[in-house]
Amino acid sequence: MLSEGRRRRRRSARGPVGLLLLLFAGGAAAIAVWFGVLRADGPGRPVASAGVQRLTTPVTERPPLQEAVGPLPEPPGAARVDLSRSALLADLKLDPTPVAGLAFDFADGRVLWRRGATRVRPIASLTKLMTGLLAVERFGSDSRVRLTAEPDQIGGTHMGGLRAGRSVRADVLLQGLMITSGNDAAVALAVAGAGSVHAWVNQMNARARLLGLKCTHFVDPHGLDPRNRSCPADIAALAMRAMAEPRLARIAKHRFARVWPGFGKKITLRTTNHLLRERYPGAIGLKTGFTNRAGHCLVAVIERGERRIGIVLFGSKIDAFADARRIAREAARVGAIDPAA
């Protein structure tokens, strides 16, 4: 009887201890499974286990940097603007006269007309020519860009529709940059391409040095800051390099485009270049710009037959497009381009 009583007491004593051991083992197994799931799926993602979904707070992450591929090779036989020779249209007078400007032949860099060709001035959205060139050197035509909140926070002209968290094709941003001069598109490309606006601007200035642009300095990717400065000779060289990139040249000549910003309906972009809007004969680009400090700025490219000229204008007093048309008429008169059909 005593032995039976002792056996009963021993079993009752082992009961709570065994239960605790079982609970501890089960908890350890659950923790191991949980951490295994975390390792497999990563933090901040829904975790499914036995049909139950666990929702976590999404983590806002800066998109991965686009790998910098570096400058594309210079096109063979590329011309340089030649300031050593006298201007073909030396007697041309524009009234009122722009602050500075330059007209040149794409084929051989011959200067057709100039005024203060090396005068350093604010360049407004002509800054976007360098952002566009860097963008085609860093993003493939099918590359996608994850948007942050920064593009929507910039002032000035917007292409619109660029909301944080969306994914959009890089060429959509290029269209917003070159057609409608979107500052938000410039910031989106800068952040995706270099990690920050500051890092992108450093790359813009490095690219300017590689191109031999001696009077050019950038402080932002869009041109709102008047400290973005250059001279007509440098902008002419940058325009020649930009037009040598087929993607950029193709986008820059569009009068409008319908694009999808990654969510919702498509949006319509309309060019800021009135030469393109008016279907001026031979107009195929390139970029406009305006701020109070810079005035009206323009890089126009006119192509007729086998001839192509570029026209750079800084600080046109009334109408930069009228100035460009006058220069193009004179260029046709002396045979620099074919007459309008």
Write out pLDDT tens, residues 9-27: 444 444 554 544 445 555 5
Across the range 186-195, mean pLDDT stands at: 96
* 128 is a catalytic site residue: yes
pTM reported for the whole predicted model: 0.79
**CA–CA dist 70, 165 (Å, integer):** 27
The pLDDT-based confidence of 231 (bands split at 50, 70, 90) is: very high
Q: Determine whether 125 is an active site residue.
A: yes
Active-site residue 167, yes or no? no
Cα 87 to Cα 136: distance, rounded to the nearest angstrom: 33
Q: What is the mean pLDDT of residues 293-300?
A: 97
Average pLDDT of the residues in 185-211: 96
Cβ density class 195-227: b for 16+ within 10 Å, e for less: eebeebbebbeebbeebebebbebbbbbbbbee
Tens of pLDDT, residue by residue over 29-74, are 544 434 343 333 333 333 333 333 333 333 334 444 545 555 666 6
Average pLDDT over residues 128-147: 94
Check if CATH label 3.30.70.100 holds for domain 100-333: no
Selected catalytic residue, list 3, 12, 49, 128: 128
Residues in the chain: 341
- Domain boundary assignment for the chain: 2-54, 100-333
Given the residues 141, 181, 265, 316, select the one marked as catalytic. Answer: 181
If one compares 37 and 174, the residue with the highest pLDDT of the two is 174
Q: Count other C-beta atoms under 10 Å from residue 186's C-beta.
A: 31
pLDDT at 78 over 70: no
What confidence score (pLDDT) does residue 25 get?
52
Residue 263 has a pLDDT of 83
Q: How many Å apart are CA 306 and CA 299, to the nearest integer?
A: 20
Mean pLDDT across 312-326: 95
Question: Are the beta carbons of 309 and 102 closer than 8 angstroms?
Answer: no
Q: What is the per-residue pLDDT for 15? A: 52
Confidence of residue 142 (pLDDT cuts 50, 70, 90): confident
What's residue 219's pLDDT? 98
Q: Which residues pair with 283 in a beta bridge?
A: 302
CA nearest 193: which of 243, 132, 124? 132
Q: How many beta carbons lie within 10 A of that of residue 193, not counting itself?
A: 25
Cα(302)–Cα(215) distance, integer angstroms? 25
Report the pLDDT value the prediction gives residue 340, as an integer from 0 to 100: 83
Q: For the chain, what percent of residues have pLDDT higher than 90?
A: 71
What's the whole-number average pLDDT of the chain? 84
Residue among 49, 93, 125, 214 flagged as catalytic? 125
